[in-house]
Amino acid sequence: MVQLTQEHKQIILNSIRDIPDFPKPGIVFKDITTLLNNPKAYGLLIDHLTNRYKQMNIEYIVGLDARGFIFGASLATKLNIGFVPVRKKGKLPGDTISEKYELEYGFDEVEIHKDAFNNKNAKVLIIDDLIATGGTASAAAKLVKATGVTLVECCFILNLTFLDGVKKVEQFAPVYSVLDI
């Protein structure tokens, strides 16, 4: 597999700004909007992911609501494959299946269309901007697997290693993160 050089990792990392005390005091929010408006950094990232996944015969990319849509749709276009959204409960029309997951204070729920994948033998990649505690990603992985397709990998641009969310997701598929923080 193609590895991202340290220089390219640094370009991508430098394009992501920190917003202290957002959404609440003590949290440093990783703002990817500055990555998205940096054509060099975003191009390096999407080219790297394209090179990583082009030989895996993936047929669909599942993007998680909402920032996973940005990376997933771009990558799906580059790979000429389908894109499937996993959305917050109540946002998708038609027949869906859903999965609840635990938050710091309470629960949330995500869903996917029952007929999201035309080929039940399809190989699928999940992508999102960041993995923290792994709740959303593991719920999405359960949903994808419930449809009967093969979940090849879960990909994250940023992995907040101190929160250890990768361990939750690795129960369902291998995990790849571009940057570990």
Q: Where are the domains of the chain?
A: 57-180
CA distances from 165 to 3, 56, 95, 120, 138 (A): 23, 25, 29, 28, 9
Preceding peptide of 23 cis, ω within 30°: yes
On whether the pTM is more than 0.85, the answer is: yes
Mark whether 59 is an active-site residue: no
Catalytic residue check, 104: yes
Calculate what percentage of the chain has a pLDDT beyond 70: 98
List 7, 104, 153, 170, catalytic entry: 104
Contacts of 14 by beta carbon, 8 Å cutoff, 6+ apart: 41
pLDDT of residue 2: 65
- Rounded to 5°, the CA angle 172-67-21 comes to 105
E strand or H helix that includes residue 100:
strand 96-103
The per-residue pLDDT for range 82-92, each reduced to its tens digit, is 999 999 999 99
- CATH no. for 57-180: 3.40.50.2020
Return phi, psi of residue 36, to 5°.
-65, -30
Distance CA 3, CA 21 (A): 33
| pLDDT reading at 125 higher than 70 | yes
Task: Give the pLDDT score at 96.
Answer: 97
Q: How confident is the model at residue 103 (pLDDT cuts 50, 70, 90)?
A: confident
| Dihedral-angle region of residue 174 (phi above 0 means left; psi in -120 to 50 means alpha; beta otherwise) | beta
Q: Within 10 A of 97 (CB to CB), how many other CB atoms are there?
A: 14
User: How confident is the prediction for the chain on average, in pLDDT?
Assistant: 96
Q: Among 17, 52, 67, 153, which one carries the catalytic annotation?
A: 67
